[in-house]
Amino acid sequence: MGRHYYIAGNWKMHKTRTESAELAQALVTELKDGKHEYLVAPSFTNLETVSAIVEGTNIRLGAQNCACEEQGAHTGEVSVLQLKDLGVQTIIIGHSERRHTYKEDDALINKKVKLALKHGFEVILCIGELLEEREAGKVEEVCERQTVKGLEGVSAEDLANVVIAYEPVWAIGTGKTATPQDAEAVHAFVRKVIARLYGNEAAQKLIIQYGGSVKPDNAAQLMAMENIDGALVGGASLKTDTFVPIAKFS
């Protein structure tokens, strides 16, 4: 089997440095004997603060995005070199909010994925369909396209540093969750796509997280599914009393 559970908290655009420090400190204490792999992804402005707190612990430091160029005239963007300098280990790329609110397309996302991998980061590549795409029966088509195009030019060797997060867009922040069976079906499908691209062994090793209104009361049922290897948690990652039970599910 070889896969382990990986629970990530995407803090999105929340929290000051002081608030981020408090949450990070509490998580370090609460999760120090946790059995799974953990990550928190604060806003860019809070990375340095949180980095100092999680360094040397079992919590990885993630960034929520990066620029598609190393450096240069890109006002308002943040470079992989700057993220590395702050101790960031993982970059979330292609989150549905980046795709749909900020109009990032598959080609741009792919460029970011390759740049992040080139600089030794782990990448969490987010994929997932909109409600209208689900209702039109296009779930597999959309998820396959985003997976294939997101990973274009990524070597088998680099795939070892890729995690995929399946996030049905209609379930993010809406309180709606895909049923464990619905989520499992997509996870199994994505694993087949990876097997076709990289072979069965690579597909079996790939961690595929579920994201979309993960809460303490549905985490265990989701994680019980064979192809669901963790969670990318949004709203529930902002408080210890909702994130810790998800992170320590058994």
**Residue among 184, 146, 151, 173 nearest 234 (CA):** 173
80 belongs to a structural domain: yes
Q: Looking at residue 14, which CATH number applies to its domain?
A: 3.20.20.70
**Cβ–Cβ under 8 Å, residues 210 and 231:** yes
Q: Look at residue 77 and tell me if it is in a domain.
A: yes
Domain extent at residue 69: 6-247
Residue 1 lies in a domain: no
Please give the tally of structural domains in the chain. Answer: 1
Amino acid at 177: T
Query: Could you give the CA distance from residue 10 to residue 230 in angstroms, rounded to a whole number?
Result: 13
pLDDT for the residue 175: 82
Which residues carry out catalysis? 95, 167
Helix H, strand E, coil C: the string for 214-249 is CCCCCHHHHHCCCCCCEEEECHHHHCHHHHHHHHCC
Instruction: State how far the Cα of 129 lies from the Cα of 166, in Å rounded to an integer.
Output: 9
Beta strand 90-93 with 122-127: parallel, antiparallel or unpaired? parallel
CB-based contact 73:40 (threshold 8 Å)? no
Interior angle at CA 195, CA 223 and CA 171, nearest 5: 40
pLDDT given at position 174? 82
11 CB contacts (<8 Å, ≥6 apart)? 20, 23, 40, 41, 42, 43, 46, 64, 237, 238
- Show the tokens assigned to 223: 């994680």
pLDDT digits (tens, 9 = 90+) for 14-59: 999 999 999 999 999 999 999 999 999 999 999 999 999 999 999 9
Residues of the chain with pLDDT under 50: 1
What's the pLDDT score for residue 46? Answer: 98
In a domain, 62, yes or no: yes
For residue 213, the one-letter residue type is: S
